[in-house]
Structure 1
Amino acid sequence: MHIEVDARGLGCPKPVINTKKELEKIDEGTVVVTLDNDIAKQNIIKLVNSLNYEFKILKEEKDLIVVEITKGKNAIIEQQHELEDKCIFISSDKMGKGNDELGEVLIKGYIYTLTEARPYPKYIVLVNSGVKLSAENKATIENLKILEEDGTQILSCGTCLDYYNLNDNLQVGSITNMYSIVDIMKNSSQTISI
């Protein structure tokens, strides 16, 4: 089987996600990915190496990179689990420090990427301005709903919702309190703070 993926013009992490989806559709064969930047190429190579597939660069010019991925018998078959006993703790509606506009793009990308990475975490806890992701941000609300539909508990701090006057705006998940947040963080196998 031979599949082509045109990932030119797509922002991170879409080239990797689109490629991974196509690779999952076949047992054996090739997926040829067309890219337009070196960062996307490096991310594709990391994906391919993590899955133990073979690849070769067919073409590499300034704005045109073509990578051929061969999926064969040496492929690592990913095990799908329902939920992983992890807590993702998000304390801001932006990711990282520095430029706020970039931070907003990054947090949207992070939440979207969670929907594409299995297994899903058992909990996503939103505090401080992170509650805006479940109450105001349409893109993150849609993706949080995808996670919730598959069992992830989306929990927004009630005190934080009240502080930002968002009590009536909660679009996904439920309201929680600090006692429950501490309990979840203590009892999860891993807490990842964003």
Structure 2
Amino acid sequence: MEEFIDARGLACPQPVILTKKALEQQDELRVRVDNIAAVENVKRLAKSQGCQVTVQEEKDRTWTLSLIREEGVEASPDSPEIVCDVAVQTEGEPLVSGPCVILITSNAMGQGDDELGRLLFRGFFHTLQELDKLPDKIIFYNSGVKLTVKDSDVLEDIKQLAQAGVEILVCGTCVNFFNLTDQIAVGTISNMYDIAGSMRSAGLLIRP
């Protein structure tokens, strides 16, 4: 029997958590949510579980996602990877096990003058591309999500990093808070479930 989850009004990442638990018991599922961030997050989770997903926008500005897991349906290429990291040490470098994750928590780098902080971030993201080893993931949250919008001074640098294989996660709750849903131009709108998991599994966390 198809299960129905009413996730309207639930804070991130509750819609994802409820969907994940239900998929452990059900092969067919409908989920009702009330914001675009939740739609994208549930879609990503469903595809990672090998489910086909259809989305129906309702008249009351909510969305119903229908999830069906069928035998032979492969997981999306964008599915979260299961990575077994092996500690590797090269001469002159510290022993680090796990991915390198950079946390961007503001739209200005450091504390003090905001104009200077924005200038520093322009140099930071440009310099990242020149490093021998790129970070594995960059997570943008709080006002840091403003760096991923269409008119951001560092947008092109972040896009270059994404094209080079760096995973870009953008906090969905923060995007909704700042009303930036239609302006995000790079990365994946994510949720606290994924963000907390990325921090937990990181071998190195950097907050510039």
Give the structure-2-normalised TM-score. Answer: 0.51
Correspondent of 2:149 among 127, 135, 140: 135
Matches within 5 A, 1:32-181: 85-181=99-195
Q: Greater relative contact order: 1 or 2 (C-alpha under 8 angstroms, separation 6 or more)?
A: 2
Hey, what's the Cα distance between the residues in 2 that align with 1:118 and 1:134? 24
Q: Which has the higher helix share?
A: 1
Pairwise CA distance, 1:135: 1.0
Gaps of 5+ in 1: 1-83
Hey, what's the Cα distance between the residues in 2 that align with 1:88 and 1:187? 13
Amino acid at match of 1:86: C
Amino acid at match of 1:138: S
Percent identity over paired residues: 41
Pairwise CA distance, 1:139: 3.0
Hey, what's the Cα distance between the residues in 1 that align with 2:195 and 2:189? 11
4+ aligned runs moved over 4 Å, structure 1: none
Correspondent of 2:201 among 177, 187, 193: 187
How many residues are treated as equivalent by the alignment? 111
Pairwise CA distance, 1:109: 1.1
- Report the RMSD for the aligned CA atoms in angstroms: 1.3
SS of equivalent to 2:162: helix
Pairwise CA distance, 1:136: 4.4
Hey, what's the Cα distance between the residues in 2 that align with 1:111 and 1:135? 15
SS of equivalent to 1:156: strand
